[in-house]
Structure 1
Amino acid sequence: MLSAMAALTLRIALLLAPLIHHAGAKCIYSSSSPDFGPIGLCSLCSGFCYEKNGCRCSDGLTSCLPDGNVQCAVADLTLCCPPGLYYNQASSCCTESSICESGCATDEVCAMGVCVCNSSLYQDKTGTDFHPALSCDINAMMVTASQCLLSSLGYDPASIHLRDSSQSCNFISSSSINGQKVIVLPATATPGRCGNTATEDGPRLFITNTIDIGAPVNSNVTANPISFNITCPLFTGTYPLAQTVVISGVNGMALNPLTMVAYKDPQFVTPYVSNEIVLGSEIYVALYIYPTDGDTYVLRLQDCTASPTGDPNNTKALHLISQGCATDSLTQIIQNGNSREVRMKISSSQFQDFTTVYLFCDARLCVKSGEECTACKESQSFSMGVTQLQLELRLKGNSQQLEQHPFLGYGTLYGGSPRPAIVGLWHIA
């Protein structure tokens, strides 16, 4: 009798362990109902959870409560628990309220303890609302897309893959950007790997892959597969002093990398590398974008500001470029608004009173046929958004360590500012 009681005590202790672990979810392990009377755990009565009848003991009649040992894996989760209780999928138990302990994204709602997409936010969305985002790093590319939008359009976010669809090339994860749920797919920027191809555009090298997203196999929604290319600059050898953001094309699907690089020479051939000290007094800066429709668009540099702080509106900030032209002789525009590349020369002598220089440059695509892309003024209206970039440089005699910053400000991708800004700075001796 004593051994039987000990065994029973041990069994109950084991069953209650997961309930104690999920104490924050307030799991219910015993209840009562006017219709069913006392209700205990399914584990104590060899119970099971059925699709139409909910959770029942082995006699098929007595209701029981699911727990960590008997989970409720049915289509209609409202049948899992007695009236007045809610099934929590994360904790596999019944709770007094439907709570998602880790919180949900702003485009999700909590249902039975699990965050699901809020369909009401996407009911009027169409394929034209799909705008994937891309970030470029020295050795990696990363695609992000709205997970709930894809689901609402009839696509399976988990089906996203590179040109090479093998599992070893596609490491998919979920994240939250500006409060919205996104699917994330990284890729190594190595030629030949996972379907990557290297292309040349004059002296520039780029790496390209293709992203495919398909509809769920069991979906009743007819949706044509999504396919689009991603491209990032390809740097070889040492890591150059460069920053890249990605801007969307006219149709929102094309993703064009816009890169800003600092060079040592007026031929724009030898770039400074990360953390390298600038020895010369002249800094040559180029901005270039991966081939768009060269007959229609060119790259236009609109404004550049040098500030001693991360605030471009600082009272000591210097306006180097205004409406496409230099404000004084210490900054020279070499090429602007007539091709996919902008070039300028900046004299570091104007920064002698600065300890640190933040350089903010605004650029955009300009329509050749409808705008004065090379003029020293800004058009009254233009269709393409403005993108802001920034570089980091350390000038001669400075021993401070450069800060490391992300290549793309994710806060700009969904619902944020229309400017995907890159953070960087120049350190002055």
Structure 2
Amino acid sequence: MTLHRPMSTSDCNTVAKVNATHVTYTNRLYIFAKKFPIQTANDASMSISCSYPLSVNIALNVSLRPVIGTTVLNDVTGNGSYVAAMLAYTDNTFTTPLSDSNPLTVENKIYLSVLIPDLDVKTFKLKVVNIYASPTNSSDKKYNLLQNGCPGSDVPADQLTVDSNGVGTESRFAMKVFKIANSNAVYLFADLVLCTNNCATNCSSTQSKSDVSQKIDGKVGIYLDAWA
């Protein structure tokens, strides 16, 4: 069982503790046994916690040359700005950053995170609208991996899968490594928006897939070197 919930101080008794490098949110999860028609198991409870680095750079100290891109987004009110980062990881726990010295071969799986570490989750949510690949940094020729929050039409259905998007300060994806014909270079770009409420896309809705009117607040990108 996997539970997803944005961490926010005082929300359902969530407590935040901050040290020199990380903020740790703690709470207690209660699972109540079914009581009808008879109760055959005890209620259960467990402590839960999530730790986040206060700085993206701290999280990347374990990697000599991490695969990372950053950009600055203005919020929808025009009164503030935030640094958004796009990172690649080697594991589905998003704890081991991919280094540019890590060999990548076609069909390897990597994990992409787009996050704004200091975004106020009570006010804004981060959404990745599009992810596309290009053999050059100019992105003139692009292949859509994610379109309007849903897997794109230019690649197989399992090329990119959405873990979470539009519900908090971080969006997560799993991607199979691929090559673009006649090139080992793969530039990945993500179009970002800041929402004032949950803005996850229902990919089972044909209308949501075809909605291309969403205003883009910024773009962030990373570079991958893939081999067959």
Structures share fold, TM-score greater than 0.5: yes
Q: Please report how far the alpha carbon of residue 237 of structure 1 lies from its aligned counterpart in structure 2 after TM superposition.
A: 3.2
Report how many aligned residue pairs link the two structures: 171
Q: Secondary structure at the match of 1:391?
A: strand
Distance in 2 (alpha carbons) for counterparts of 1:276 and 1:349: 15
Q: Secondary structure at the match of 1:275?
A: coil
Picking from 293, 297, 314, the partner of 2:120 is 293
Picking from 147, 150, 173, the partner of 1:325 is 150
Distance in 1 (alpha carbons) for counterparts of 2:158 and 2:171: 18
Q: Please report how far the alpha carbon of residue 309 of structure 1 lies from its aligned counterpart in structure 2 after TM superposition.
A: 2.2
Q: Please report how far the alpha carbon of residue 346 of structure 1 lies from its aligned counterpart in structure 2 after TM superposition.
A: 1.4
Distance in 1 (alpha carbons) for counterparts of 2:77 and 2:125: 17
Q: Please report how far the alpha carbon of residue 247 of structure 1 lies from its aligned counterpart in structure 2 after TM superposition.
A: 1.8
Q: Are the equivalent residues in 2 in contact too, given 1:299–1:336 (CA < 8 A)?
A: yes
Q: How does 1:313-392 map to 2 (within 5 A)?
A: 313-314=140-141, 317-327=142-152, 328-349=157-178, 351=180, 353-368=182-197, 372-376=199-203, 377=208, 378=211, 380=213, 385-392=216-223
Picking from 206, 231, 239, the partner of 2:54 is 206
In the alignment, what sits opposite 2:74? 248
> In proportion to residue count, which structure has more helix?
1
Distance in 1 (alpha carbons) for counterparts of 2:63 and 2:170: 22
In the alignment, what sits opposite 1:311? 138
Q: Secondary structure at the match of 1:306?
A: strand
- What letter is aligned with 1:257? V
Distance in 2 (alpha carbons) for counterparts of 1:301 and 1:386: 10
Relative to structure 1, the CA distance from residue 346 to residue 329 in structure 2 (aligned partners, 3 Å threshold; closer, same or farther) is same
Q: Are the equivalent residues in 2 in contact too, given 1:326–1:332 (CA < 8 A)?
A: yes
> Where does the alignment leave 5 or more consecutive residues of structure 1 unmatched?
1-196, 208-231, 396-427
Relative to structure 1, the CA distance from residue 245 to residue 206 in structure 2 (aligned partners, 3 Å threshold; closer, same or farther) is farther
Q: Are the equivalent residues in 1 in contact too, given 2:185–2:223 (CA < 8 A)?
A: no
Q: Are the equivalent residues in 2 in contact too, given 1:367–1:373 (CA < 8 A)?
A: no
In the alignment, what sits opposite 1:274? 100
Q: Please report how far the alpha carbon of residue 345 of structure 1 lies from its aligned counterpart in structure 2 after TM superposition.
A: 1.4
- TM-score normalised by the chain length of structure 2: 0.64
> Deviations along 1:382-413, whole A, 9 cap, x unmatched?
5xx52111112223xxxxxxxxxxxxxxxxxx
Instruction: Kindly report the root-mean-square deviation, in angstroms, between the aligned alpha carbons of the 2 structures.
Output: 2.7
Q: Please report how far the alpha carbon of residue 342 of structure 1 lies from its aligned counterpart in structure 2 after TM superposition.
A: 0.8
Distance in 1 (alpha carbons) for counterparts of 2:202 and 2:118: 22
Distance in 2 (alpha carbons) for counterparts of 1:274 and 1:331: 21
Q: Secondary structure at the match of 2:166?
A: coil
Q: How does 1:128-139 map to 2 (within 5 A)?
A: none
> Where does the alignment leave 5 or more consecutive residues of structure 2 unmatched?
1-19, 25-49
- What letter is aligned with 1:361? A
- What letter is aligned with 1:345? A
> Deviations along 1:91-128, whole A, 9 cap, x unmatched?
xxxxxxxxxxxxxxxxxxxxxxxxxxxxxxxxxxxxxx
Q: How does 1:170-189 map to 2 (within 5 A)?
A: none
In the alignment, what sits opposite 2:44? none
> Deviations along 1:19-44, whole A, 9 cap, x unmatched?
xxxxxxxxxxxxxxxxxxxxxxxxxx
In the alignment, what sits opposite 2:91? 265
Relative to structure 1, the CA distance from residue 336 to residue 206 in structure 2 (aligned partners, 3 Å threshold; closer, same or farther) is same
Q: Secondary structure at the match of 1:313?
A: coil
Q: Secondary structure at the match of 1:309?
A: coil
- What letter is aligned with 1:278? L
In the alignment, what sits opposite 2:17? none
Q: For the pair shown, which has the larger CA radius of gyration, 1 or 2? A: 1
Q: How does 1:14-413 map to 2 (within 5 A)?
A: 198-200=21-23, 202-207=50-55, 233-234=57-58, 235-239=60-64, 240-278=66-104, 281-314=108-141, 317-327=142-152, 328-349=157-178, 351=180, 353-368=182-197, 372-376=199-203, 377=208, 378=211, 380=213, 385-395=216-226
Distance in 1 (alpha carbons) for counterparts of 2:131 and 2:86: 12
Q: Please report how far the alpha carbon of residue 293 of structure 1 lies from its aligned counterpart in structure 2 after TM superposition.
A: 2.6
